[in-house]
Amino acid sequence: MEILTTLVMLAVGVVLGFGLGWFGARSRHPEEGVLTALQERGQEQAVVREGLDRLQDQLRDLDHQRATWQGQFSQQVTDMRLTTESLRRETSSLASALRKPQVRGRWGELHLRRAVELAGLVPRCDFTEQAQLADGVLRPDLVVHLAGGKSVVVDAKVPLDAFLDAASSEDDDEREAHLVRHVRQLRTHVDQLGSKAYWRALDETPEFVVMFIPAEAFLSAALDTQSDLLDYAATKHVILATPTTLIALLRTVAHGWSHETLATQAGEVRRLGAELHERLGSLGGHLDKVGRSLGAAVAAYNAGVGSLEGRVLVTARRFSDLGVTADDLPAPRQVEESPRSLSAPELAVHDFEALGEVARPSAEQPMVFGDKPEPKTARIRRA
């Protein structure tokens, strides 16, 4: 009984041992796979963590740059706001100043002077500022002197009150009313300039006056409101001009002055050339007279030499023959060269009565024209 119990216990122990071993073997292989998977998962998480760290650093840098850019942008916005406020104040101050007639007039004169300088005209030569006409009754801003002694009067006008009101108005009807008033102001200036008739106080002046408007917008706004404003001004002998058209007009005047200067210089060159030609002719006559005088002197000298050799020395040599002296008398040489006559037709002079009888050529000494005249000398043989 005990043996059977022992065998049963052994059998049960073997079965339990085998079962435990089998279960233990099966449970050990999954744990190793789990550990390997966990290790791989840990490596992947490390890579992800490293990427997240780099991304965090980049985000931190971007945030720092954004803060810097935002600060700079805020400073620029602040500077722009201050500049805009300053510009608004200056614009308001300028608009207030330009509403004063004296300031507007001075501003228009400055723009007129600038346009004249850009056209290339010279002060006090090509134009005169603030010229007094009709004993000081009329005083235009500018008198432009044209080539040929003519003049053109230019007067600057700045109709600005209604234009500024129209520019600052936000209501369309109100703006249109201000523009109509702006046209009326321009027409008033046109009527005033036309009634002054500057051309009557200047000699040889075209019957019109140029009304200078210092800004293109002033005239364009008026023409948009009343398109026949230029025709109306023309009937009053007034030409409306902006800086662009005035500079073109004045450059035409400067071009005319250039041609006038060239014509004057050409006339002066012609006068000097004629005077030089006349003086060359006179000098040629004097040289011809001197040459003929030299020819006559050479002829007289050669005649004297012939007389000396043929008459005087013959008698003098007899003193040697008589033993009075043993020295030979030197015989002077004849002059073989003769003065060269003037061969140029411009310098040839045939009016011998004007030059005098001294220079009149003789039969033995004719007047020769050419580069190589043959000399004619009075040669006398020794006896």
| 94 — pLDDT class (breaks 50, 70, 90) | low
* DSSP letters spanning 278-337: HHHHHHHHHHHHHHHHHHHHHHHHHHHHHHIIIIIHHHHHHHHHTTS--PPPPPPPP---
| 241 — pLDDT class (breaks 50, 70, 90) | confident
Residue 41 lies in a domain: no
Q: Domain of residue 297: give its range.
A: 281-383
* DSSP letters spanning 76-141: HHHHHHHHHHHHHHHHHHHHHHHTSHHHHHHHHHHHHHHHHHHHT--BTTTEEES--BTTTTB--S
Domain end point (choices 191, 221, 241): 241
Phi, psi of 128, rounded to the nearest 5 degrees: -130, 130
Residues 236 and 100 in one domain: yes
Residues 235 and 286 in one domain: no
* Paired tokens of 116: 């004249």
The pLDDT value given to residue 289: 84
Name which of 23, 158, 166, 181 is nearest 99 in CA terms.
158
| 211 — pLDDT class (breaks 50, 70, 90) | confident
Domain end point (choices 176, 211, 241): 241
- Return the amino acid letter for 235: T
Residues 103 and 232 in one domain: yes
pLDDT digits (tens, 9 = 90+) for 333-344: 767 677 776 666
Residues 226 and 312 in one domain: no
Residue 205 lies in a domain: yes
> What is the residue-averaged pLDDT of the chain?
72
- Return the amino acid letter for 147: A
Whole-number percent of the chain with pLDDT over 90: 0
| Dist CA 312 CA 333 (whole Å) | 15
Q: Is pLDDT larger for residue 208 or for residue 203?
A: 208
Q: How many structural domains compose the chain? A: 2
Q: Does 329 score more than 70 pLDDT?
A: no
Residues 147 and 98 in one domain: yes
Strands 151-156 and 209-212, sheet pairing: parallel
* Paired tokens of 91: 């614009």
Residue 14 lies in a domain: no
- Indicate the pTM of the whole model: 0.46
Residue 250 lies in a domain: no
Element (H, E) at 224: helix 216-225
DSSP state of 350: -
Q: Does 218 score more than 60 pLDDT?
A: yes
The pLDDT value given to residue 215: 80
| 118 — pLDDT class (breaks 50, 70, 90) | confident
Residue 64 lies in a domain: no
pLDDT digits (tens, 9 = 90+) for 140-180: 777 877 766 677 888 888 777 777 777 777 788 888 888 88
The pLDDT value given to residue 13: 62
Contact 91, 85 (CB under 8 A): no
The pLDDT value given to residue 276: 86
pLDDT digits (tens, 9 = 90+) for 9-36: 656 565 566 555 655 555 555 555 656 7
Q: Is 353 helix (H, G, I), strand (E, B) or coil?
A: helix
Residue 42 lies in a domain: no
The pLDDT value given to residue 257: 67
Residues 229 and 308 in one domain: no
Q: Does 229 score more than 80 pLDDT?
A: yes
The pLDDT value given to residue 266: 83
Residues 333 and 237 in one domain: no
Q: Is pLDDT larger for residue 134 or for residue 260?
A: 260
Q: Does 287 score more than 70 pLDDT?
A: yes
Residues 237 and 336 in one domain: no
* DSSP letters spanning 22-90: HHHHHHHHHHHHHHHHHHHHHHHHHHHHHHHHHHHHHHHHHHHHHHHHHHHHHHHHHHHHHHHHHHHHH
Give first-to-last CA distance, the chain, whole Å: 211
Q: How far is CA 102 from the centre of its chain?
A: 34
Q: Mention every residue, 6+ apart, whose C-beta is less than 8 A from residue 381.
A: 310
pLDDT digits (tens, 9 = 90+) for 43-91: 767 777 777 778 788 888 888 888 888 888 888 888 888 787 777 766 6
For residue 153, the cross-strand partners are 143, 209
Q: Mention every residue, 6+ apart, whose C-beta is less than 8 A from residue 373.
A: 338, 340, 341
| Dist CA 168 CA 178 (whole Å) | 10
Q: Does 359 score more than 50 pLDDT?
A: no
| 278 — pLDDT class (breaks 50, 70, 90) | confident
Domain end point (choices 185, 218, 241): 241
